[in-house]
Amino acid sequence: MSIGRRRALLIAATSHTDPVLADLPVARAGARSLDAVLRAHGRFDETTLLLDPDRGRVQAAVRSFLADSRPDDLLLLFFTGYGLVTGDGRLFLAARDTVSRRPRRTAVPVGLLGDLLRAAPTPTAAVLLDCRHRTAGDPSAAGARAGLPEVELRRELHGVGVVVSAAERDATTGRPDPHLPGRPDPLGHADCGVLTLAAAAALAGAAEDRDGDGWIDARDLVEHLCADLGRITGLGQPVALRFGEHDGGAVRLVRGRGAGGPERAGTGALVGHLGPGRGPSALPGPPDDDPALPLDAARWRALLDYHACCVRRAAVVRSFADLDRAGGHVCWPAGPEPLFSGADPRPALGSAAADLVRAAVERGETVRYGYPTVLLDPADLPGLPDAELPAAGLLAAPLFVVDVDADAAITGPRLRALSAPVVNPAVLRALGHPGRTDSVELREWLADGADGPVIADLACRTRRLLDDLGIEPVDTIDPARLRGGLARLPPRPGARNVALLYRAAPPAVAVSGVLADLACDEETGLRVQRIGDTALAALAGPRPGGADPGAPVDTRGLGEPQRDALRSAMAETLTVVAGPPGTAVTGLAAAAVQSAVVAGQSVLVAAPDASTVESVARSADVDARPLVVRTGGPRYRAAEPQVLAELLGREHGGGDPAVRYASLREDWTSLRTAERTVDAVAAQEHELALLARARSRLAAAGWDPAAVFGSTRRSPEEWARRAGRAFGRGVAGALRRAAIRRGLGVPADPASLAMLGRAARAEHDWRTAMDRWRRSAVPADPAANLDAAAGCHRLSSLDCLKAAVASRIEGGRQAIANRLHSLNWHGARSWAGFPWLLTAVPAWATTTAGARALPPEAGLFDLVVLVDAGNCPVAEALPLLYRAKRALVVGDPRRGTSPAGPEPEEELRYRQAARLGERWLTERALRGTGDSGYHACAAALAATGRPVLWLDEHDGRHPRLAALADRHFYGGRSTAPAARTHHPAPRGRVVEWRDVVGGCARTVGRSCVNPEEAHEVAAAVRALDAALPAGAAIGVVAPYRSQRTLLSRLVEHAGRRREVRVGAAEAFRGEWDVMVLSPTICAGAPADLARRATECADAWHAVLTRASRRVVVVGDAAFWSACGGLPAELCAEGLIGGTAPGRGAVAGAPAWPPADRGAARRRRDPARQSLLDALRSMSDEVTEDVSAGGHHADLRVRTPHGTTLVVVDRSGSGRELRRLLGRCVQLHRSAGEPVVRAPAWRCLHDPDGMAKEILNAGA
């Protein structure tokens, strides 16, 4: 599927002829490990490993490697070995024949690599450096501790793409070399190669695929290295990370596993039958499973047939028995239960049962048999959407179920089980247990001791499972004495001692529509020959794009990530956006609708959940007037004539669209100009900050550049050249060294000359940067200019949108009238006149399962916006992509589709019948179970080399909750709250932990229950119910089925004034005011349950990402603190007193994956420390790490005019600076105090001046 070549060049210089350069065995091992990983998992077309090459071979290999590159290639260049720093600050890479005293003649200059990379035609390149830096020409231990030349590395490799370099510790600690036991490593040689070994381990499977595109990219690698920092470097020193023009998302290194996305497990052995529907009756030969096989017309047909089989089977699995359908069910006669008890493995069918089976075969329906029969009240079912609930009456389904058919025999037809029985997925889903874990566990539990359809100890297992699920037995459960029928009056929910034979209900209207779309061989289905004209073709390969996106329409104030995604959606065939919960996904979708309308295009919005569709439609409205027409279900289709009639009768006026659009483009240009101004300020301040840190380090080492060069008339650049020449031997070298001693009064030994050269270079760069800063026209208040430009753009967007809507309706009145005539004549199901109607009414919305309400025409819409695509099955996404020319797909990469689909053995059967290989489907994320529309589109985008975009600004959630979720589940990509949102401070703690030890007991399968913890959860819910304002909703999550059942009973009996839902992580979508977690596991739990405790990450993820105000955790604080990671952090923050009670060591506590902790890095920041010292010398009251409304400030200072908050500006780009400016605004709103931005370079260069400015801020 790759469009360009993937090439890697690995160079390991670990042995040298110069005795000063000792061997680096760890680096050699790391290079070999990295080479093996790239060859095994990287899909590189060319991977070259050079071990201990000489200088000529290194230069020739690099030149050849880069000269042969193409614009669409991906390049990875790796080097491990020594890095030599010369007296004038130049960097060189040591080869095997390098002489450390003469790097210019015998080593490879890093600047050459930078020049060659910048000249290469490919923009997608990554450089990985793992070097032991030392001073050239200094053989002493001091020369071996040159440290990472950060400023020099940035200068030499500026703009080459992605650069990752290892930082180094102070080697004087003499940490023992782990590869040479008992032998100290005084020069730190073992450090070289540690980063490489860690990177190889990460790429071999330790790193997560954060964006769900099926690849570990450079950004995923960097985030993993940051999170695993302590283990990588041994002493917790930071890893230096640099990015060029892009953020690393396009540099895909190896195939990876999804981060909480679709499972990639095998489907196991073939068991069962094909079942009704398409597909041959006999299995064909093994399919061709090469992932590189193209998605051509034949495979499109096979893929659509495969998904049609999966959808049809999923409908059967989710179906209930329709008790009101004539001939739809038969209760087994009174007596012993035959199949599951083993009383009669092939019981004879009565006349009614035989007629039922015969009718089902004639109609192609599935016959199912089960026991006991469970009646469920729809009002008490949290797991079913409203569209699947009956209009009246109870739902009926057996607890244990199996597919059956009739086997002809001499004595008459007999019932035959076609597979092993399972716990009915329809019952589990209805009761709020839709997770794959519950289905798999119960399947294994039921198979224990089973023999074919016979369930061991049927009566005991039935009673245990009913109690575990909270289903009340209405009858005595006794398989030996079945009741012969269902007492219909009174209809009481519960389990009946009745065995039921029934025909699976026909697919619902929505499912029938999806099946009709997937019928590619029929006239009204998807036409394979037209796929090339639609967004669906992007799943097969790269598509042309790059059109002018025009000016985006932004009526509500989008963040920059949303605008980037919007502009991509208006220009590219396929745009995939990772949108974690709370990142203003609805605002992006609404802006896409408005931009398409203004551009004269048509747009379709789709989401799996009806509430999400309604939310987007409301956000896109103009002045409370609907812009988006809802369709999909029968209710909406019946209302279409009324909606169109209202549009015809409404007066529309908005001015000339051309004039309004010209104003919009002008304001958009002004906004971009203001942003570029901030970009320039950020770039200059970042450069000054790097140089100020370098000068501070030199000053700490006794080489203060200002003091050394302050009194000399010669420029620092001249002294750098002199220091470089002073390394020479003979009389000339001695004279130069003497001149340096006379001119500057500093020593002239090799180590001092090297430090002098670095100090001179740093001082020259500092003076040059300061001169540029003074000459640049820096605005007095860039934030005010930016806000003014953004406000003008929002106003012009609204005016332009009104004018465009009015113009399209006025110009399309005839189209609306024709569509009304067609609806009145042909009925609501008619498609006549709809394509023409889009010229006047361009924006429509439906659920993903309701696309059949729209004509199945290729490219009917210009744009489809698929929201919450992580919960959209692939089968529902395909018809939507077919109906549009371009697609904007937004989803949470950690969320996958519900596993309520075909069983693994059935999916295997369908896949083999379609001759589609598992690897082919898995790598394209097109499987019928587990994969989603988001993952399929992300995998297709990865094949084109384009990155998945990220929404990394949170909106509407408390910043503390957003930061916790982001750091632990999304790699720290979106910690900054949106600048436009004001977060009122909630009453009470944002994170609360209630410590309950309790006792964890195993129940059915691998589930468990903790009664003491459950009762404490109920008490917490009662307290929240009494304290929260009206309308606030509470969600309760427990990862174990038995605990959820107990919690449901306790919460229901407690009574409540608001919505309180108890469920699994999959049951929660959208935002909930408060989320409560019952982790269940505690100290003393069975060993296997304790080991699996951290496997329930989905529950912690749901709690943090769905809560908008507060999170409450009820559990054993000591046990979860011992796990580390997120549980320990929540416990430390939320537990009253701040620490877990000491109860000794917690046995069996598993280790939670580490996360990158930004607070520790802030505390070690030298800029902040310098400012803090200056402020404490001038003010009596300085507080560190202040939080106001969830927003962080570095310092709070008492001034003569009150208190002032201080935010140290560490931003490295214009986007980061704009976010920081927005955070300052939020801090001011939340705290009501003045907020001062303190640039890092000023804190380092002039902390006293910065402190005085802060003290006068409130004047």
* pLDDT given at position 141: 58
Residue 537 — very low, low, confident or very high, per pLDDT cuts 50/70/90?
very high
Percentage of the chain modeled with pLDDT above 90: 42
Q: Is residue 113 within 8 Å of 64, Cβ to Cβ? A: no
Spans of all domains in the chain: 6-255, 321-504, 664-784, 986-1154, 1160-1255
- Candidates 218, 724, 59, 876; CA nearest to 737 is 724
Parallel/antiparallel/unpaired status of strands 1008-1009 and 1001-1002: antiparallel
pLDDT digits over 368-407, tens only?
Answer: 999 999 999 887 776 677 666 666 678 899 999 999 999 8
Q: Where are the alpha helices (DSSP H) in 1002-1096?
A: 1011-1027, 1041-1054, 1087-1091
CA dihedral 36, 37, 43, 46 (to 10 degrees): -40
Six-digit token string for 815: 């189209």
Domain 1160-1255: assigned CATH number: 3.40.960.10
Parallel/antiparallel/unpaired status of strands 1072-1077 and 1034-1037: parallel
**Element holding 38 (H helix, E strand):** helix 25-41
Distance CA 670, CA 793 (A): 8
Residue 89 has pLDDT above 50, yes or no: yes
pLDDT digits over 757-804, tens only?
Answer: 888 888 888 999 999 998 887 777 788 888 899 999 999 999 999 999
Distance CA 95, CA 110 (A): 12
Domain 6-255: assigned CATH number: 3.40.50.1460
Burial, 451: exposed, middle or buried (Cβ in 10 Å; 0-12, 13-18, 19+)?
A: exposed
* pLDDT given at position 102: 87
- Measured in degrees and rounded to the nearest 5, phi and psi for residue 787 equal -65, -40
* pLDDT given at position 152: 72
Q: How far is CA 1127 from CA 125, 524, 751, 959, 1152, in A?
A: 38, 53, 49, 18, 8
pLDDT digits over 895-936, tens only?
Answer: 765 556 788 888 899 999 999 998 899 999 999 888 899 999
Fold match between domain 6-255 and domain 986-1154: yes
pLDDT digits over 1191-1205, tens only?
Answer: 789 999 998 888 999
Using left for φ > 0, alpha for ψ between -120 and 50, and beta otherwise, residue 632 falls in left
Which residues make Cβ contacts (< 8 Å) with residue 849, sequence separation at least 6?
510, 511, 513, 514, 608, 632, 876
The verdict on domain 986-1154 having CATH code 1.10.287 is no
- Measured in degrees and rounded to the nearest 5, phi and psi for residue 1173 equal -60, -40
pLDDT digits over 319-334, tens only?
Answer: 899 888 888 899 999 9
Q: Which residue has the higher pLDDT, 192 or 858?
A: 858
Burial, 190: exposed, middle or buried (Cβ in 10 Å; 0-12, 13-18, 19+)?
A: buried
Bridge partners (DSSP) of residue 1113 are 993, 1077
Give the number of C-alpha atoms closer than 13 A to the C-alpha of residue 675, restricted to the C-beta side.
15
Dmax (CA) of the chain:
118
* pLDDT given at position 901: 72
- Candidates 73, 191, 84; CA nearest to 124 is 73
Q: Hey, is 970 helix, strand or coil?
A: coil
Bridge partners (DSSP) of residue 215 are 255
Long-range CB pairs of 745-750, under 8 A, 24+ apart, other chains included = 746/708, 750/135, 750/137, 750/138, 750/140, 750/143
Distance CA 962, CA 580 (A): 10
**Element holding 152 (H helix, E strand):** helix 150-156
How does 197-207 read in b/e, with b if 16+ C-beta sit within 10 Å?
Answer: bbbbbbbbeeb
- Candidates 61, 36, 118, 134; CA nearest to 754 is 134
Looking at the chain, how many residues does it have?
1259
Q: Whole-prediction pTM value?
A: 0.89
Give the number of C-alpha atoms closer than 13 A to the C-alpha of residue 623, restricted to the C-beta side.
12
Which residues make Cβ contacts (< 8 Å) with residue 912, sequence separation at least 6?
270, 283, 284, 286, 287
